[in-house]
Amino acid sequence: MSAILLIAVPLLAAFISILFKKYAHYILVFVSFASVFALEYMDLGTITVGGFNAPFGIVLILDDYSLIALYIVNTLFFLVAILNCNEFKKVGSIMLVALAGLNGLLLTGDLFNLFVFLEVAGIAAYLITTTNKKPLATFNYLIQGTVGSSLYLLGLILLYAMFGTLNMADMASSIASSGYGAGVTAFPFLLMFIGFGVEAKLLPFNSWTKGILANSNRLTGPMIASVYAAAIGFVFGRLLTNVFVIEDTFLIIVTIILIFSVVAGEAMAYASTKVREILLYSSVAQAALVVVVFMSGFTGWAVYLIIGNAAAKLVLFLITNTATKQLGNDDVETFKGLFVNNKIIGLSFTAVTLSVIGLPMFLGFVTKMNILENMFVSGDYIWPAIILITSVVEGIYFIRLLLNLWYKENDLPEVKFEFVLKYVVVIIALLIMVFGVYTEPVQESADDLVAYSYIEGGNL
Amino acid sequence: MKNFLAFIAVLVLGYMIVVSLDNNEAFPAYGEADVSSRVSQAFIDRTVTEDPGDIIFGQATNLESGPANIVTAIVADYRSFDTLGEVTVLFVSSLGVALLLGGKKQKRLELNFHPNFMLRVGSRALFGIILMTGVYIAIHGHLTPGGGFPGGAMIASSMLLLYLADDEFRAKIKGFKMLESFAGTAYVLIGLTGLLLGGYFLENLLDNGVIGDLFSAGIIPIVYVLIGLKVGSEISGIIDNFLTEEGV
């Protein structure tokens, strides 16, 4: 099966669904399930669109990397869709467009096509966040997202003026063979980096995050913090490893941005007294960490960092937003003792949180341990130090949160979690634990992906 | 303070643009780029798959890409997939406007003047002319400047004229929705047909004909007419959403 169907079919379904508004959410669930299922039958390789070979036409790249990305994003998308399809019927068609946009982002091998899908997925995201009923926050997101993608486009225009091609692999090889220093491409890459930084929630380009995620509901929280974060992380990784040349001044600027993001994200999470704010600032720090690991060249472990984080944020935001809706607000005070009567949910929440901190027996530990090891081996001591210190901070605020959620004598908050949600949450928590103990497949696949290098001439 | 910081940020960005591009050996000065080494040269000569030799307007046949208009050849043939994406951007934007502004019981926003008889009749006469110009531009997109997007915008502007010149006018939105859905579906289906029969999504399966003829360039005029219909109906829908309000 051609991977283009992953984009074409959701799009076709979206165009048809506006005539059958009442059934749009059923179409959504069906199509998102079908795309997870269809991934099994996709042939790896380069998919040429329109019959013109790269670098002239547009190509989609389906290699091991994008296949993993598609599995993760489509599965998470399906879970979010099936848990929310009855409550948010109105955004059914928009979610279908979002699915097409995200799959396009992950598949494309063309820098301008990437911009188009960034716009498609972005506008769908702005519209999905309107269900928060916070118009000003959504407007902020809209403006910042649009400025971000315009900066990406400006950077791309400059690159096109220099090298006359839009294909990712062709661009990378033209830059490599041109013989110019890293200085000539630093500015366009910086613009593109900022453009993606907005979507990836890197400080200081992420002031939209608080308005969106701190007011999120059961749809937008998991959608933005888990599905979109994973997709943007994967695409960013593709650019960082295959296209960007990160050296000299550019490296220094980017490193400062990233250190700032990690440290400030963890510090702000530490200072927060609302559950959703703690989660969102932790997401900011994690997103920056993903970029760091990609830049250091440990692609396989960056992928696992994205997977672990996306799965964790899905569970955490689902539980938090379900509880917030029933309790009225998300102060840690209100949430006190939430898990005393909801032990299963509580255990899953705890397992996932401990994995994010990176305690042994969980997937997060395997990932963090290997990243640190690899960094030490390659002679980098600054980032391991920062990661270790911030992990301690992370440990303190998450364990403080867990203690609050588990212990209270009387006057317990009453929250009901439905069966499907419990099921999803427990399965994810179990998977995180299983792969935390049984680490061999993780280790092997991550090492395989490290060897992955860029694609010659736009074709596999 | 905030404004001042923003001003500083803009200055820094401007300074960086100048510093990084001034005397940048890779960045060609205006008009001095070596076009022959770029992908765009192949688009102009139509030499991506095979070399057709000299292309003579009105005579050359069976080119790899049929439109006489080079911009259309790039936008709707070589990079047609991007155009499908752009169509989707407009589609999801119009969905968003409908999501935010479209309620159940709607009535027209009142104009603060009452249009007289001449204005109403005159605008209807003009409506037809503007509409036909829009259709013409969309149909001739592969020959002359224009195409589906400008043509569609022009079609929608004829609707806007009716809305502004008559305070009781309301279009049948249901029809626009059907048209929008039909055009989008047909575009994707054309793409899927290419995938099924030719092996490539959005492949141009029809005969390209003689360059410069109205009936040439294979699927491109069809796609452009569909885009024109889609853009026209979407923007008309947006106009209707903006000019109506939730009534009692």
Tell me the per-residue pLDDT of B43-94, one tens digit each, with 9 for 90 and over. 888 888 888 778 888 787 878 888 888 888 888 888 889 999 999 999 999 9
The residue that leads in pLDDT, A105 or A334, is A105
A120 in a structural domain: yes
Q: Is pLDDT above 70 for A284?
A: yes
User: Residue A370: how many CA atoms within 13 Å on its side-chain side?
Assistant: 25
Report the pLDDT averaged over residues A282-304.
88
Q: Is pLDDT above 70 for B247?
A: no
A370 in a structural domain: yes
Farthest CA pair distance, chain B: 68
Is residue A408 within 8 Å of A340, Cβ to Cβ? yes
Is residue A304 within 8 Å of A366, Cβ to Cβ? yes
**Which contiguous run of DSSP H or E holds residue A284?**
helix A275-296
Helix, strand, coil percent values for chain B (each to nearest 5) = 60, 5, 35
Given the cut 0.85, state whether the ipTM is greater than it.
yes
The pairs formed by A157-164 with CB atoms below 8 angstroms and a separation of 24 or more are A158/A187, A158/A188, A158/A191, A158/B21, A158/B27, A159/A111, A159/A185, A159/A188, A161/B27, A161/B28, A161/B33, A162/A188, A162/B24, A162/B26, A162/B27, A162/B28, A163/B26, A164/B33, A164/B35, A164/B37, A164/B38, A164/B39, A164/B40
A157 in a structural domain: yes
Burial of A79 (0-12, 13-18, 19+ CB in 10 A): buried
Q: How many domains does chain A have?
A: 1
A325 in a structural domain: yes
Q: Is pLDDT above 80 for A248?
A: no
Is residue B244 within 8 Å of B167, Cβ to Cβ? no
Residue where the block lists tokens 């929630």: A201
Contact A50 B49 (CB under 8 A): no
The residues facing B34 across adjacent strands are none
- A47 vs B contacts (CB less than 8 Å): 201
Contact A12 B37 (CB under 8 A): no
Distance CA B234, CA B87 (A): 10
Which region holds residue A257: left if phi is over 0, alpha if psi is between -120 and 50, else beta? alpha
Could you write out the DSSP letters of every residue in A416-443?
---HHHHHHHHHHHHHHHHHHHS-HHHH
Contacts of B51 (CB under 8 A, 6+ apart): B45
Distance CA A192, CA A104 (A): 18
Distance CA A100, CA A10 (A): 5
Picking from A15, A102, A129, A56, the residue whose alpha carbon sits closest to that of residue A459 is A56
pLDDT value at position B105? 63
Picking from A366, A361, A358, A410, the residue whose alpha carbon sits closest to that of residue A387 is A358
Q: How many CB pairs under 8 A join A and B?
A: 157
Could you write out the DSSP letters of every residue in B146-210?
--HHHHHHHHHHHHHHHHHH-TT----HHHHHHHHHHHHHHHHHHHHHHHHHTSSBT---S---B
A16 in a structural domain: yes
Burial of A301 (0-12, 13-18, 19+ CB in 10 A): buried
Residue where the block lists tokens 């001044």: A249
A329 in a structural domain: yes
pLDDT band at A117 (very low <50, low <70, confident <90, very high): very high
Tell me the residues of chain B between 89 and 128 that have a Cβ less than 8 Å away from chain A. 89, 91-93, 95-96, 99-100
Residue B45 forms contact with A (CB below 8 Å): no
CA distances from B100 to A101, A122, B21, B61, B159 (A): 21, 17, 43, 50, 21
Tell me the residues of chain B between 130 and 189 that have a Cβ less than 8 Å away from chain A. 177-178, 180-181, 184-185, 188-189
Picking from B213, B212, B192, the residue whose alpha carbon sits closest to that of residue B202 is B192
Cβ–Cβ contacts within 10 Å for residue B228, how many? 27
Contact A4 B189 (CB under 8 A): no
A275 in a structural domain: yes
Report the pLDDT averaged over residues A60-87.
89
Report the pLDDT averaged over residues A81-102.
89
Nearest chain A CA: its distance from B105 CA (Å) = 17
Tell me the residues of chain A between 154 and 183 that have a Cβ less than 8 Å away from chain B. 158, 161-167, 170, 178, 180, 183
Distance CA A165, CA A171 (A): 6
Distance CA B155, CA B53 (A): 39
Please give the residue range of the domain that contains residue A370.
5-452
Classify B25 as helix, strand or coil: coil
Handedness of CA A319, A323, A328, A332 (dihedral sign): negative
- A113 vs B contacts (CB less than 8 Å): 81-82, 85
Q: Is pLDDT above 60 for A204?
A: yes
pLDDT band at A100 (very low <50, low <70, confident <90, very high): very high
Q: Is pLDDT above 70 for A344?
A: yes
Distance CA B169, CA A87 (A): 36
Contact B85 A124 (CB under 8 A): no
A457 in a structural domain: no
Contact B89 A123 (CB under 8 A): yes
Smallest CA–CA distance from A10 into chain B, residue: B188
Picking from A87, A356, A73, the residue whose alpha carbon sits closest to that of residue A218 is A87
- Of chain A, the percentage scoring pLDDT greater than 90 comes to 25
Distance CA A136, CA B63 (A): 52
Mean pLDDT of chain B: 86
Q: Which two tokens stand for residue A442?
A: 């993780």
Report the pLDDT averaged over residues A281-310.
88
pLDDT band at A459 (very low <50, low <70, confident <90, very high): very low
Nearest chain B CA: its distance from A63 CA (Å) = 18
Reported as a single tens digit per residue, the pLDDT across A261-279 is: 888 888 888 888 888 888 8
Prediction pTM value:
0.92
Reported as a single tens digit per residue, the pLDDT across B216-237 is: 888 888 989 999 999 999 999 8
Report the pLDDT averaged over residues A77-82.
91
Picking from B52, B47, B43, B95, the residue whose alpha carbon sits closest to that of residue B71 is B43
